[in-house]
Amino acid sequence: MKQRLLLFSCCIGSFLFGAFITNDDPKKPLTSEMVEVAARVFDLEFSPAERDSMLGNLNNARTNYEALRKIDLPNNVAPALYFNPLPAGFVMPTGPSSFKESAPGKVTLPVNRDELAFYTVGQLGQLIRTKQISSVELTQFFLNRLKTYDPKLHCVITLTEDLALSQAKRADDELKAGKYRGPLHGIPYGAKDLLAKKGYKTTWGATPYKDQTLDMDATVIQRLEKAGAVLCGKMTLGALAMGDVWYGGMTRNPWNTNNGSSGSSAGSASSVSAGLLPFAIGTETMGSIVSPSTICGTTGLRPTFGRVSRHGAMALSWSMDKIGPITRSVEDCALVFNAIYGPDGNDPTVMAAPFRYAPLTSLKGMRIGYVKKGFESNYPNRANDSLTLQTLRTLGAELVPFDLPTGVPAGRISFLLTVEAAAAFDELTRSGRDDLLTSQGRGAWPNAFRSSRFVPAVEYIQANRARTKLINEMDAQLKAAKIDVYVSPAYAGGNLTITNLTGHPCVVLPNGFSKQNLPTSITFMGQLFEEGKVLAVAKAYQDATEWNKKHPTLQ
């Protein structure tokens, strides 16, 4: 084990202190002087007598930590404490689920087959259902595009070609036999490579795990297979779900391949944007669906925390990780989400709630909030976002000023993420294998993991108590405004941090281009478990614009 300047470190749910010591004897008993130095790290002050009284407890605690570290705790073992996003008095939606897809109209096979690259899931589903094209043909088409353009975009970690062709053949055989699984039947897709699939590597985008195989299928992959979807590839992610740099390089933005695609759902967004796949699965802990969708001009759904099972997915933050689709249209997000949501018996944080979706013919009379302080601030995408508000007014919506809660500074408690991540990758840090990660800067995971070990367990608990207050304040703000849906700048105004902490659902979609001719985005937000409402409103806006129909040109 690498010798570090850590005497003993943060352990959630345990008594905690840290201290700086020399490397000559890391096992020697703590002294009053060591405790004094450690206390300074946490802005605490104890008298010599108080420090002396603590020594017995602290030395015993260190013995406990040593014993704890001998217990095998792989990444898929969650803490016994589960995050619950429900505010006080919240009433869970009840009743049956319902799903009404838009009338597809007449969909025909294009003369130029290359145009299939940018057909929506709904359109491709119609072509397969009406047997204008087979799943095998469509799968081969997208596999060829992945092979052709991945050397330029670096968006694929593992191409699952054999699996894809066998799943596509099964889809075709079933359709011939009269068995139709629904709108995803025979549709190719990609999965972020933190989702396990038997027989294939699950690398988490990180050098220490690049040869890792997990003998399981993630629940999301199981459910997509049940829906008839065809897995074509494991897509790139920034190492351990940060950014767009993985052990094979940097995933590129199809709109400008000199730029990265952002992350951490880097390959999922890049591939969909470039027309290499009809849809892909991403995850978000703090912006990992919103950010790459913004950069790449895709449409993404970050569901309510507790909506989609994370069984078989890499854990980064047990109280913040969420799984959702990245697609070309809002309704495609609805189609995919309809296949993957709901309890599975393996992820205890997932709650049963209906999903009800139906397209809106009009926004007339609907009260839609907008984050006033965010829209009025000075930020790069302000002009495009202002036009989004005008479009909503034109569609008949009543725009209501909405203020995000201010009682709890969300940025001050967002260290919850890095503390949980440090626990999830505790062994990586203590073994010194964190040196193998591609990114090693001050803002990268290795430094964040090490620094997080100095967060006192008491402060972690206090931050979670403040999070409870934030959740209740957010609920109060929504009730006071009497709105179910609101819009926010993708980044300005603090909405991204707050709602990732509170667990609210978000739909991010393109709303224009920057001066550099790169996509920009807007976010639609809603109440917990009300993805259907958010998707319906976002679709009405998207149908009134053409931004999602703009595509990059790849050479």
Q: 514-531: per-residue pLDDT in tens?
A: 999 999 999 999 999 999
Q: 472-514: per-residue pLDDT in tens?
A: 999 999 999 999 899 999 999 999 999 999 999 999 999 999 9
Q: What is the dihedral of CA 382, 383, 389, 393, to 10 degrees?
A: 160
Tell me if 149 sits within 8 A of 554, measured CB to CB. Answer: yes
Strands in 133-194 per DSSP E: 156-159, 188-192
In-domain check, residue 231: yes
Q: How many domains in the chain?
A: 2
**108 pLDDT above the threshold of 80:** yes
Same domain, 126 and 220: yes
Same domain, 54 and 116: no
Q: Helical H runs in 482-515?
A: 495-502
**7 pLDDT above the threshold of 50:** no
Local confidence band at 188 (pLDDT 50, 70, 90 cut-offs): very high
The reply to whether omega before 264 is within 30° of 0 (cis) is yes
Q: Which domain holds residue 382?
A: 98-345+359-408+459-549
Write out the two tokens for 22: 């020399």
Task: From 322, 256, 285, 301, select the one nearest 516 (Cα to Cα).
Answer: 256
Same domain, 336 and 393: yes
pLDDT (0 to 100) of residue 531? 98
Q: Residues 135, 261, 262, 288: which is the catalytic one?
A: 288
Q: 80-94: per-residue pLDDT in tens?
A: 999 999 999 999 999
pLDDT (0 to 100) of residue 484? 86
Same domain, 133 and 44: no
Same domain, 49 and 130: no
Same domain, 155 and 274: yes
How many whole angstroms separate alpha carbon 177 and alpha carbon 241? 42
The DSSP bridge pattern shows strands 252-253 and 98-99 to be unpaired
Q: Which of 30, 51, 69 is the last residue of a domain?
A: 69
In-domain check, residue 444: no
Same domain, 336 and 474: yes
Task: From 545, 539, 534, select the one nearest 369 (Cα to Cα).
Answer: 534
Mean pLDDT for the stretch of residues 378-390: 97
Q: 241-258: per-residue pLDDT in tens?
A: 999 999 999 999 999 999
- pTM exceeds 0.75, yes or no: yes
In-domain check, residue 445: no
pLDDT (0 to 100) of residue 2? 39
What is the pLDDT of the chain when averaged over all its residues? 94
Q: Which of 53, 69, 85 is the last residue of a domain?
A: 69
Lowest mean pLDDT segment, chosen from 9-18, 117-126, 412-421: 9-18
How many whole angstroms separate alpha carbon 454 and alpha carbon 526? 36
How many whole angstroms separate alpha carbon 292 and alpha carbon 255? 12
Radius of gyration of the chain (CA): 24
Q: 138-154: per-residue pLDDT in tens?
A: 999 999 999 999 999 99
How many whole angstroms separate alpha carbon 96 and alpha carbon 110? 38
Please calculate the CA angle 348-351-356 and round it to the nearest 5 degrees: 150
Q: State yes or no: is 53 an active-site residue.
A: no
In-domain check, residue 198: yes
Mean pLDDT for the stretch of residues 328-334: 98
Task: From 308, 159, 307, select the one nearest 235 (Cα to Cα).
Answer: 159
β partners of residue 323: 283
In-domain check, residue 429: no
Q: Residues 134, 262, 264, 521: which is the catalytic one?
A: 264
In-domain check, residue 424: no
Same domain, 189 and 149: yes
Local confidence band at 15 (pLDDT 50, 70, 90 cut-offs): very low
**21 pLDDT above the threshold of 60:** no
In-domain check, residue 539: yes
Strands in 321-375 per DSSP E: 322-327, 356-357, 367-371
Task: From 229, 241, 72, select the one nearest 164 (Cα to Cα).
Answer: 229
In-domain check, residue 427: no
pLDDT (0 to 100) of residue 27? 74
pLDDT (0 to 100) of residue 26? 63
Same domain, 141 and 279: yes
Q: For position 515, which CATH number holds? A: 3.90.1300.10
Q: Which of 69, 88, 113 is the last residue of a domain?
A: 69
Same domain, 60 and 106: no
Same domain, 133 and 199: yes
Same domain, 245 and 154: yes
Q: Residues 9, 135, 192, 452: which is the catalytic one?
A: 192
How many whole angstroms separate alpha carbon 34 and alpha carbon 61? 15
**471 pLDDT above the threshold of 80:** yes
For the chain, how many helices (H) and strands (E)? 18, 17
> What's the N-to-C CA distance of the chain in angstroms?
48
Q: 254-286: per-residue pLDDT in tens?
A: 999 999 999 999 999 999 999 999 999 999 999
pLDDT (0 to 100) of residue 17? 39
Torsions phi, psi for 138 (to 5 deg):
-65, -40
Query: Which residue bears the tokens 């009809």?
Result: 278
Q: State yes or no: is 14 an active-site residue.
A: no
Residue 120 CB coordination number (10 Å) = 22
Torsions phi, psi for 299 (to 5 deg):
-110, 130
pLDDT (0 to 100) of residue 103? 86
Torsions phi, psi for 159 (to 5 deg):
-85, 120
- Exposed, middle or buried by CB within 10 Å (0-12, 13-18, 19+), for 375? buried
**18 pLDDT above the threshold of 50:** no
**181 pLDDT above the threshold of 50:** yes
Q: State yes or no: is 264 an active-site residue.
A: yes
